[in-house]
Chain A
Amino acid sequence: MKRREFLKGAAWAGAASFAGKGLGMAQGESNAQATNHGEQVPHRPLGKTGAQVSCLGVGGYHLGSTKDQNEANRIVSEALDAGINFFDNAWDYHDGHSEAVLGIALQGKRDKAFVMTKVCTHGRDKNVAMRQLEESLRRLKTDHLDLWQVHEVIYYNDPDLIFAANGVAEALVQAKQQGKVRFVGFTGHKDPAIHLRMLQHGFPFDTVQMPLNCLDATFRSFQQQVLPEAQRRGVAVLGMKSLGGSGEMVHWGAVTAHDALRYAMSLPVATTISGMDAPWVLHQNLEVARGFQPMKEAEMAALRDRVSFWAADGRFELFKTTKKYDGAVGREQHHFPSAKELPV
């Protein structure tokens, strides 16, 4: 996959940085209003695993979009200093560049971080998965992952492919047995029904990642349909796309970036993964995350009601309603035409 092509798909990894700019300020400025400076980002239990993760996570896709390695180093080290330990990534982000960048940024700091990456078999067998694991470990400069997730479960036949004999589910088990990964999970941005089918297989997933934001709450809702089921099964939930992936909800003024992030972080999730491709985006997120106090249920309900008007046709959650956010590797493996060729 060409890096350029991949970039066009942009912003899958979480809250897009430019969206946050609606909340923000000119680059490099300090924030006159932040009052929580110096407080740490709180940690939460990761489901039943016994591990603790920060309630804000650094998205890996955007780490690969930083202007250079120094910028990425700065984001990672400032995040660690602020108490963030959760780092997201995926084997196919920027053709491996995102993993390489994180690997370098975490040198000498690996033990302070909870490192997740994702495997991108999209229907291919266990051997492909194990090969990708080795590549991920090498790029991340580590001998083990804290969490390994099946990436982009977004097509209706994905659960069948994943749990087929010799499929990626077997790789998850094997990698865990070999001590190369501590915990396993899956992720997807498309449809709660697909997530539910995955969970119904009864596989011992430690985590499940899904889009969670104040518009999702009333439209093809992961929050309503999947979150309670994951809780019931004791599977830790990782939220993403707190601003809807592209941040259009912020641009059109449906909600502020600040409120949108607070809402997502206030749900019963272990962490909320947000893309940060420049230090100012991290700083902006830290305004919310340092010493984070969840919104009260009444406040969340009021926000849901206020934005439900904008949620109803899914225009601000295009990852659910179009193919624009579907990665090229997955589409290729499913023999679907590339998203570019579709009238979406």
Chain B
Amino acid sequence: MQQGSILQRSFGRHADVKISALGFGGHHLGDAPDEKTAVALVQGALDGGITFFDNCWEYHRGKTEIWMGSGLKGRRDEAFLMTKLCPHGRDGSLALRMLEQSLNRLQTDHLDLWQIHGVSFENDPDLFIRPGGAAEAMRKAQEQGKVRFLGFTGHKDPRIHLKMLNIGFPWDSVQMPLNPFDSNFIYSFERQVLPELSKRGIAALGMKPICGHGDPVEKGVLSAEEALRYAMSLPGVTTTISGVDKPEVLQQNLKIAQNFQPMPEPELQALRDRVKTEAADGRFELYKLSLKFDNPEARLAHDFPLDMQQAEVKEMMKATENDGHPFADLHSGGQSQ
């Protein structure tokens, strides 16, 4: 993997804290074929200049945290490590258990950033801030020095993001989808949330630069490079989190990020205009529209019914089978269990 450096930007109002303009997405790490590959990807990312690492308590039922922990072993100090908690409205005590699990899996005693995962539903902000809710747990974890900064994430609706922003919690960061399709859509994180973050000195973490699974790239609407450069160039964005599951993807991302020159505004606008027609019905942004993209853990916590055919639900059911051999794919090199 190519050695190199990547543009570092200030983490919101914390001007002394810098993170790389390209972030390493944790979810796709779980799609790597084995732990050895995953470890090499994490180390390759560090070598290539990525310092921002994303993860989440519920990704692949814990596997991605374990693999990232192995990859960062001995190099924890080089990384700005984020993971997410998944209370989805449930109690703060649950949130603190999740923190303990995440720290154990990631083999560290602290996180640089701890974010509420997947704020998606109308009542999520109220459930978060209620007495005994996750807000109290986050403050407590910060006081105890187990986490440095606090944030939230979601892909559903900018109006819910704004409600979270206005709830009276001292957010350090906010994560959201940022891509040219979003910019055109009837409700847009770029138009509605990003300026608000800049105003308040909150770090803006972009995700889904190619709309999650790369549909528009596959369909030839725009190239991966255009999409990634677009997201990284938006005024006010701090980092852009991109998922990596194989060395080729990491190579490609590192190349783009190491040679990164921000697109000037006319170029950004030209790209927005180019995808305007495709953006209008949200077909490339189903995470905003379809229940299919709702996280099952969150739906359970809200007593919403589950779609038993959804991949994540199947994964969840499999995990609860509890056959004594968790994550068979953790085995690399044909071990016998």
Contact = CB atoms under 8 A, between A and B. Distances in A.
A335 B155 CA distance: 56
A10 interface: yes
A256 B107 contact: yes
Given A65-B336, A253-B65, A246 B324 contact: yes
Contacts of B36: 26-27
A11 B337 contact: yes
Contacts of A7: 336-337
B105 A245 contact: no
A11 B104 contact: no
B322 A315 contact: yes
A25 B73 contact: yes
Given A17-B335, A252-B62, A26 B40 contact: yes
A254 B101 contact: yes
Nearest to A244: B324
Contact of B66 (A16, A17, A21, A33): A21
B66 to A, nearest CB: 5
A252 B335 contact: no
B266 interface: no
A329 interface: no
Contacts of B103: 253
B330 A18 contact: yes
A10 B325 contact: yes
A65 B107 contact: no
Contacts of A247: 326
A88 interface: no
Interface string B82-110: 00000000000000010011111101000
B101 A253 contact: yes
Interface residues of B, number: 34
Interface in B275-331: 322-327, 330-331
B102 A25 contact: no
Contacts of A24: 70, 73
A251 B335 contact: no
Contacts of B102: 253
Contacts of B100: 253, 306
Contacts of A245: 324
Contacts of B168: none
Contacts of B332: 27
The CB with the most chain A CB atoms within 10 A, among B101, B325, B331, B337, is that of B337
Given A7-B336, A26-B70, A248 B322 contact: yes
Interface string B1-45: 000000000000000000000000000000000011001100000
Contacts of B39: 25-26
Interface string A29-58: 001110000000000000000000000000
A23 B69 CA distance: 8
A151 interface: no
A216 interface: no
A309 interface: yes
B220 interface: no
Contacts of A93: none
Contact of A22 (B105, B322, B337): B105
A11 B330 CA distance: 15
Given A10-B336, A254-B101, A246 B70 contact: no
Nearest to A260: B104
B337 A18 contact: yes
Nearest to A251: B326
* Most-contacted residue by chain A among B63, B66, B335 (CB, 10 A): B335
A253 B67 CA distance: 12
Interface in A230-283: 245-248, 250-256, 277-278
A84 to B, nearest CB: 22
A324 B330 CA distance: 20
Contacts of B69: 22
A325 interface: yes
Nearest to A4: B336
Interface of B: 35-36, 39-40, 62-63, 65-66, 69-70, 73-74, 97, 100-105, 107, 322-327, 330-337
Given A246-B324, A247-B326, A251-B63, 9 more contacts: A10-B336, A11-B325, A17-B337, A22-B104, A31-B74, A32-B73, A67-B334, A248-B324, A324-B323
Shortest Cβ-Cβ A-B pairs, 5 listed: A253-B101, A32-B74, A246-B324, A253-B104, A251-B326
